[in-house]
Amino acid sequence: MSTVRHVVVIGGGIVGLAVADELASRGSRVTVLEKERGWGAHQTGHNSNVVHAGLYYRPGSLKARMSVAGNASMVAFAREHGVPVDVCGKLVVATSESELPRLHDLAARAEANGVPAKLISAARAREHEPEVSCVAALRVESTAIIDFPAVCAALVGRLSSHDLRLRSPALAIRSVPGGVEVATPQGVVRADALVNCAGLHSDRVARLAGLTPSARIVPFRGEYFELRRTGLVRGLIYPVPDPTLPFLGVHLTRMLDGSVHCGPNAVLALRREGYRWRDFSLADVVDVARFPGTWRLARKYARTGAEEVLRSLSRKRFAASLARLVPAVREDDLVRAEAGVRAQAMLPDGSLVDDFLIETAERQVHVLNAPSPAATGSLEIARHVADKIITPLE
């Protein structure tokens, strides 16, 4: 197996930078194209900075394997490069007897995935989190909190001898004999191969490259608050997730600086990069509206969607959701924080792609679904992508 001499990576979030770093470590020359003025500007810079343990995902799936392995590799990377990280563990709490079967199912899934976790009583849970309300909990030891933008900065530092370009969107892509060409505002980049890690625009970049991707990106905004009374939470407190939904539910996360983030909820964003209700793009809304999967999803989850919108518009409802976990939380404890947007891939039948989705063409690899836990698993995704792109060249 020989090294591809030059690879162009589109997208400068944590996945794109990790892919570039992995390819560079294997001897390739790398060009990274990022349309923003800084690295990790979207999903990487607007998430909860949690290094997930890997307990939620279907055993054997890419998410399960790359989250479990990524938990270890990401913590090791952070410690090696001086990036702040704290392996603090977390609690997943059942707030009623009706949630106990799902909590036990989650414990079984953790065991199947090789995640260090154990069921504990409500009394033991309160030893970790004195303000928590639950009938039982799952204690997950390997969950960590980290500074993912600082991980990006470390990756950029490792790539300092390569061609890293900010404010360089891909305007056009074409295959040419022996490689690909990408047009940018600064000129054309010619490379032996291309990797698409464009996140919220990954499906559009794939179409630009001549593919017909199997899924469409639909943006979901996740809104966060900060907790004024940070003493109510010592670490990470999560609800038992609904297995029919791709989101984990609102939770409380103590950050590295001692602040406590609460959220996120999940509402359809009105723009691919729509961090506020007023962020609106007619083209993006029409794109979503014309996709048949959108309406099939809406019919299936009409009630859930309505509840999420109401919670988005009502601080009181948001506080009530948190109070299920920590009853002391009140509406006036919440201070609005930055939102994030999840690049969620959807199929035409309305189902949400629940695993990482990576599609290939000649001399091309397209990462088409990489929401959470992609930051956790980014170094593992990078190895997986590099294995696909590194092939003998004639």
Q: Of 337, 352, 367, which residue sits at a domain end?
A: 352
CA atoms of 206 and 203, how far apart (whole Å): 5
Whether residues 175 and 322 fall in one domain: no
End-to-end CA distance of the chain: 12
Question: Over the stretch 314-347, which tens digit does the pLDDT of each residue have?
Answer: 999 999 999 999 999 999 999 999 999 999 999 9
Contact 91, 128 (CB under 8 A): yes
**Taking all residues of the chain, what is their mean pLDDT, rounded to a whole number?**
94
Instruction: For residue 11, report the phi and psi dihedrals to the nearest 5 degrees.
Output: 115, 120
The verdict on residue 306 lying in a domain is yes
The verdict on residue 59 lying in a domain is yes
Residues in contact with 342: Cβ distance below 8 Å, sequence separation at least 6, in sequence order: 43, 219, 220, 221, 222, 266, 371, 372
Whether residues 362 and 345 fall in one domain: no
Q: Which of 364, 378, 351 is nearest to 207 (CA)?
A: 364
Answer yes or no: is pLDDT of 248 > 90.
Answer: no
Give the H or E element holding residue 369: strand 364-369
Half-sphere exposure for 157 (CA within 13 Å, toward CB): 9
The verdict on residue 135 lying in a domain is no
CATH of the domain at 165: 3.50.50.60
Residue 367, both tokens = 């990462």
Whether residues 234 and 348 fall in one domain: yes
Residue 211, both tokens = 């593919």
Residue 299, both tokens = 């019919």
Q: Of 352, 367, 384, which residue sits at a domain end?
A: 352
Structural domain boundaries, residue 43: 1-86+144-215+353-393
CA atoms of 336 and 177, how far apart (whole Å): 52
CA dihedral 385, 389, 391, 394 (to 10 degrees): 180
Residue 49 zone, left/alpha/beta (φ > 0; ψ -120 to 50; rest): left
Question: Over the stretch 151-197, which tens digit does the pLDDT of each residue have?
Answer: 999 999 999 999 999 999 999 999 999 999 999 999 999 999 999 99
The verdict on residue 13 lying in a domain is yes
Answer yes or no: is pLDDT of 129 > 60.
Answer: yes
Question: Over the stretch 90-99, which tens digit does the pLDDT of each residue have?
Answer: 999 999 999 9
CA atoms of 81 and 318, how far apart (whole Å): 37
Residues in contact with 373: Cβ distance below 8 Å, sequence separation at least 6, in sequence order: 52, 54, 57, 63, 66, 67, 70
Strand 364-369 and strand 136-140: the pairing is unpaired
Question: Over the stretch 276-317, which tens digit does the pLDDT of each residue have?
Answer: 999 999 999 999 999 999 999 888 888 888 888 888 889 999
Give me the mean pLDDT over the 123-138 stretch: 98
Would you give the distance in Å from CA 73 to the centre of its chain? Answer: 17
Answer yes or no: is pLDDT of 258 > 60.
Answer: yes
Whether residues 36 and 181 fall in one domain: yes
Question: Over the stretch 15-54, which tens digit does the pLDDT of each residue have?
Answer: 999 999 999 999 999 999 999 999 999 999 998 899 999 9
Residue 2: pLDDT band with limits 50, 70, 90: low
Q: How many domains does the chain contain in total?
A: 2
pLDDT of residue 55: 93
**Residue/partner pairs of 67-73 with CB below 8 Å, 24 or more apart:** 67/373, 67/376, 67/377, 68/113, 68/114, 68/115, 69/377, 69/380, 70/373, 70/376, 70/377, 70/378, 70/379, 70/380, 70/381, 71/142, 71/143, 71/144, 71/376, 72/142, 73/379, 73/380
Residue 116: pLDDT band with limits 50, 70, 90: very high
The verdict on residue 75 lying in a domain is yes
Residue 392: pLDDT band with limits 50, 70, 90: very low
Query: Can you name the residues that pair with 236 across neighbouring β-strands?
Result: 253
Residue 394: pLDDT band with limits 50, 70, 90: very low
Instruction: For residue 188, report the phi and psi dihedrals to the nearest 5 degrees.
Output: -100, 135
Give the H or E element holding residue 65: helix 62-81
pLDDT of residue 1: 37
The verdict on residue 121 lying in a domain is no
pLDDT of residue 3: 65
CATH of the domain at 323: 3.30.9
CA atoms of 190 and 40, how far apart (whole Å): 24
The verdict on residue 274 lying in a domain is yes
pLDDT of residue 246: 63
Whether residues 209 and 270 fall in one domain: no
The verdict on residue 38 lying in a domain is yes
